[in-house]
Structure 1
């Protein structure tokens, strides 16, 4: 069932010299580290009460959810970790970076933080990890809100083939370096921000550096970037289809309509598959990383799913 369609409003596009200062410094000041058997897991935390866990996509980090954390922290203890191999999390060169290993890491992180159950919110490849976590630890997930992400056979999307091949060859980090060196490229249709954001001109240089700087900061981090991306294969979601068909966790899909990687029919697949589905909201014009541009929609849908007026 598709309900609550909402259009993205026109976003103001500032000229390059007029981009407002980002809130990188404030977010970085909230960064904490949890020592786990997997390594030092970076995370941001805001708010008190029952916990909500926010899972970012590739190649971002928890900063993606800063607007949602601000809006939802009056209602939840909001936790936004950086996955292993991305962001500011520190793990060894031998650490498995596959989606399953990431899901296992989240269990260890929650135990380290003394959290027994969560509301789960995810985007992009974080959605793969969310689905694995939810079917393997259903007792720990109260609700799940999925935005544009990997689903069933579309994991990873076919459009990622060239990038995954580059990662397997150990060269994808060079593309990341280009994003850091050339902001115009990063914001173009060939760059990550130009292809995944509706208003890429609003992405500040500080944001680009916060996302991608750590990924190329050392030979180890470059290798981990490549291994994270290469590790998205083979598809882990086909094996859990039967589990998803039994998963009665209340789940809401909120889906951008202008995302070529994850078209809206995959939200419909989830709606028809999950016994606990609470339907779909379409975000008209939303691209892959629309939750960063429209945290108000994330917050509104989360509060409704959580039963908060």
Structure 2
């Protein structure tokens, strides 16, 4: 799909109310591969490969991939498909981008689901696991390239500062290669990744949170891993209270709920989307 910032690849499955999934940094639409089949019988599931370092199609060189730019990209995607009343489902930093998009471009957003992501109490990148190094090395192509070379070795995938604190259980090799090969082998993808991770800041989430609490009058759900090491459950509890939103906890999972517990996440989403709480006021 051609958008003002460049070409965005996306995948579509199912029919019914629209769910638009927003993944985080250094993964792609494969993060939803277990979840979408559990929802597609009743929902139209759209899973873009957002330009966050694991995408196949580079954006235009001048594309704005800062948090506000990513929020605009989400809004442009909804507009290009003429989607109305879409449910944004954001995980990891995709939840941060979803919050900003819902706060700044609410017109086509009907509901917001935040699944283990930045809250106003979190840093961005999150401090646990040493993830701020991702932003620090983005200032120059060479350290950014060097940082990721260790991921050529399979055993590093389970380190806590790579994917080990994001997925409780090992991710299969084919999927991991889809995440890592673009950033390891393609300079134009690293260029997009540097722009994205190098521009993140907690202030964007905090500003969005104020606007969501004050102005966003549409249903919001928080779905959180009980064992999340990166985005503490205590932060989610406070944020849910601020937003007046329900919080559902999911056992036996880390941040990547759709990876560790897709069946349970699908149950939570279905139950909420079918409930009176998820109906527009």
Tell me what 2:279 maps to.
none
Q: 1:143 aligns with which of 111, 116, 138?
A: 111
- Within the alignment, does 1:198 sit opposite 2:168 as a pair? yes
Compute the TM-score of the two structures, normalised by the length of structure 2.
Answer: 0.89
- Within the alignment, does 1:83 sit opposite 2:50 as a pair? yes
Which is richer in helix? 2
The 3-state SS of whatever aligns with 2:37 is helix
Which structure 1 segments of 5+ residues have no match?
1-33
Q: 2:139 aligns with which of 150, 165, 168?
A: 168
Tell me what 2:62 maps to.
94
- Within the alignment, does 1:271 sit opposite 2:240 as a pair? yes
Deviation at 1:174, TM superposition (A): 2.6
Q: 2:253 aligns with which of 286, 291, 305?
A: 286
- Within the alignment, does 1:184 sit opposite 2:155 as a pair? yes
Shift in CA distance, 54/162, structure 1 to aligned 2, threshold 3 Å? same
Deviation at 1:308, TM superposition (A): 6.8
Deviation at 1:141, TM superposition (A): 2.1
Q: How large is the Cα RMSD of the aligned pairs? A: 2.0
Q: Is the 8 A contact 1:85 1:91 kept in 2?
A: no
Deviation at 1:128, TM superposition (A): 0.8
Alpha-carbon separation, structure 2, partners of 1:114 and 1:139? 11
Which structure 2 segments of 5+ residues have no match?
277-281
Deviation at 1:83, TM superposition (A): 1.5
Deviation at 1:123, TM superposition (A): 0.5
Q: 1:125 aligns with which of 84, 93, 97?
A: 93
Compute the TM-score of the two structures, normalised by the length of structure 1.
Answer: 0.81
Shift in CA distance, 297/95, structure 1 to aligned 2, threshold 3 Å? same
> Deviation above 6 Å: which 4+ runs of structure 1?
none
Q: 1:58 aligns with which of 25, 35, 56?
A: 25
Q: How many residue pairs get matched?
A: 270
